Amino acid sequence: MKQLHNKNYLVILASFFLVTYEIGSTEPIYSISKKYEPAQKKISYSKNGMVTTQHFIATKVGEKILSKGGNAYDASIAIAFTLAVVLPRAGNIGGGGFMVMYDNETMQPYSIDYREKAPEKSHRDMYLNEDGSFNTQRLSTFGYLSSGVPGTVAGLWEVHKKFGSLPWSSLLEDAIYYAENGFEITPYMNDVLVRYNQKLSFYAETKEIFQKDYPDFANKKLIQKDLAKTLEIIAQNGRDGFYKGEIAKKISAAMKKNGGLISINDLKNYEPVWRKPLVSNYKGNEIITMGPPSSGGVHIIQMLKILENYDLNSLGHNSGPYMNLLAEVMKYAYADRSKYLGDPDFYEVPINKLTSKMYTKDISKNIKIGSRKSSAEISPGKYFDQESHETTHFSVADKKGNVVSSTYTLNSTFGSGVVIKGTGILMNNEMDDFSSAPGIPNQFGLLGAKANEIAPFKRPLSSMTPTIVMKNNKLFFTTGSPGGARIISAVLQSILNVIDFDMNLEEATYAKRIHHQWQPERLEIEFSITNDQKNYLQDVGYNTKVSNPLTCIQTIMFKDGIFTGYGDFRRPDAFASGNIND
């Protein structure tokens, strides 16, 4: 492995604690008590495929599908429906997302956009007061008015039509089972349910499902019988089971009764979009990632092209100068995001310009290691500090060489807080991902402009960044993460950790991550900061903040005929498994 300048990590596993230390430091950068003992304690290996998700039950379901002869697409569909049951804070059928794929039979990359859409009755000023000021009553983040038209079921249906090999109904069997019979609530999920008691108790339907056992969920099961019935209808009727008939009528009726905008026609007319994935080269590796309305892929490519102008290894991984460089590069990318990114069906996103050699070279000329530019010098803006970091990512690779990297979400934790009566469907609050008013950031602190303003049938901008990295026409690794605004910076660092610093899967996962999103004027560093890092960054002029982890990389690597997988310890229920007929 290339020299990491004493920034490698030592993992000490005991029966009751997981503690991570930086070598050369006596300060632990992360510890998980016994109740948060991670589901995965060692890397998983396999010759026949690999699955990694944010919940061990969903991982086992994906592994089961591969073991039955299903392909990566089949497993991904089963995983997505299972996560809607066992990871309700982010997994969903009431939300949407993106999927990036590499198909070995055609030897081509693909991507599908199943992002939510603004309802037909939505309009640019729907969250503004009469005087044009932003309404602060949380209308864009909580309740019925915050939901866009869900895309998950339609997206998964399209993937199955194009690539699926097993019967559609068989891919929902496990999700239905866990919804009908329940599953044990883990200590981590227990604490999440307690923490979100107020949000999950506002609506009676939501409270009955998720807060029935409050405040002690220990040794309890989460049972969702209405959701099981909904999944059975989808299993029998496919896409139409969600977007037409009984389920669609219940969604539209609930919206009409409670001030929401989603109608029968919005549901009936929803369609996902097959989009050409963004493909670029970084140091001999092919980067395949999601294009707009995901902003992540554009800015991953942009930042990698800027960083090609530097010898990162000589700086030392997570040294002060390295953090300095990454922070400046991130600021330029996030500033561009606020102005130029939006739904390509409504706005011509200047992808080629933003990722061009000329433009990225010009940016690199403005970055001087050992100094910093203020965010105002890059572009003016304001910031409102309110953070949410829920989304979920999963990756699947099968023995035939097919690869899936998918990120989907309800937006913030438990979405809008609304469960549609009689369906068990927890709805998204994705309307907040639009620019609600000039200069007013969304809940992730991200600013936007005209490119991302609300319009009927439009898809909101996203930070989700499902990515596949190929080398010599074979899978090298996949990556992706939840984390709101921090997704893009986390995915960037996972790529750099593997390619530039030659880290293995465990090292790349455990390496602490930094984040700067242009506004606010703040550099975030996970877990802890060493004295050397702190002194250097303060001398340069950064306002630094040590933060808790808010991302969770789900990665699969492939080398010498062996798949390796590892569930990021930052979400203790995450798990990778690949013992598939080995």
Q: Is the pTM of this model over 0.85?
A: yes
Look at residue 128 and give its three-state secondary structure.
strand
Each of the 582 residues of the chain gets a pLDDT tens digit; together they read 343 333 333 332 222 233 333 333 333 333 444 467 889 888 999 999 999 999 999 999 999 999 999 999 999 999 999 999 999 999 999 999 999 999 999 999 999 999 999 999 999 999 988 887 777 778 999 999 999 999 999 999 999 999 999 999 999 999 999 999 999 999 999 999 999 999 999 999 999 999 999 999 999 999 999 999 999 999 999 999 999 999 999 999 999 999 999 999 999 999 999 999 999 999 999 999 999 999 999 999 999 999 999 999 999 999 999 999 999 999 999 999 988 889 999 999 999 999 999 999 999 999 999 999 998 898 633 333 333 567 999 999 999 999 999 999 999 999 999 999 999 999 999 999 988 765 555 554 544 567 889 999 999 999 999 999 999 999 999 999 999 889 999 999 999 999 999 999 999 999 999 999 998 899 999 999 999 999 999 999 999 999 999 999 999 999 999 999 999 999 999 999 987 665
Three-state helix/strand/coil letters over 409-421: ECCCCCCCCCEEC
Tokens of 426: 């927890």
CB 537 within 8 A of CB 24: no
Residue type, position 311, single letter:
D
- Taking each helix axis from N to C terminus, what angle separates 320-340 and 487-499, rounded to the nearest 10 degrees? 130
Which of 20, 289, 391, 530 is flagged as catalytic?
Answer: 391
Look at residue 195 and give its three-state secondary structure.
helix
d(CA 413, CA 390): 5
d(CA 98, CA 84): 15
- Supply angle C-alpha 508, 572, 433, rounded to 5: 80
CB 381 within 8 A of CB 542: no
Look at residue 326 and give its three-state secondary structure.
helix
Residue 61's nearest CA partner among 41, 90, 36, 91 is: 91
d(CA 113, CA 124): 22
| Strand pairing class (523-526; 544-547) | parallel
d(CA 340, CA 481): 23
- Taking each helix axis from N to C terminus, what angle separates 152-163 and 72-86, rounded to the nearest 10 degrees? 160
Q: Determine whether 391 is an active site residue.
A: yes
- What is the residue extent of each domain of the chain? 1-182+223-582
Tokens of 522: 């703040």
pLDDT at 235: 98
Residue type, position 447, single letter:
L
| Distance of alpha carbon 170 from the chain centroid | 26
Give the DSSP letter of residue 112.
Answer: E
Q: Based on C-alpha coordinates, what's the Rg of the chain?
A: 22
- Supply angle C-alpha 301, 302, 304, rounded to 5: 65
326 exposed, middle or buried (CB, 10 Å; 0-12, 13-18, 19+)? buried
User: What ranges in 46-170 are assigned the alpha helix state H?
Assistant: 56-67, 72-86, 152-163
What is the arrangement of strands in the sheet containing 514-515, beginning at the earlier edge strand?
A: 514-515, 523-526, 544-547
| Distance of alpha carbon 503 from the chain centroid | 22
CB 250 within 8 A of CB 423: yes
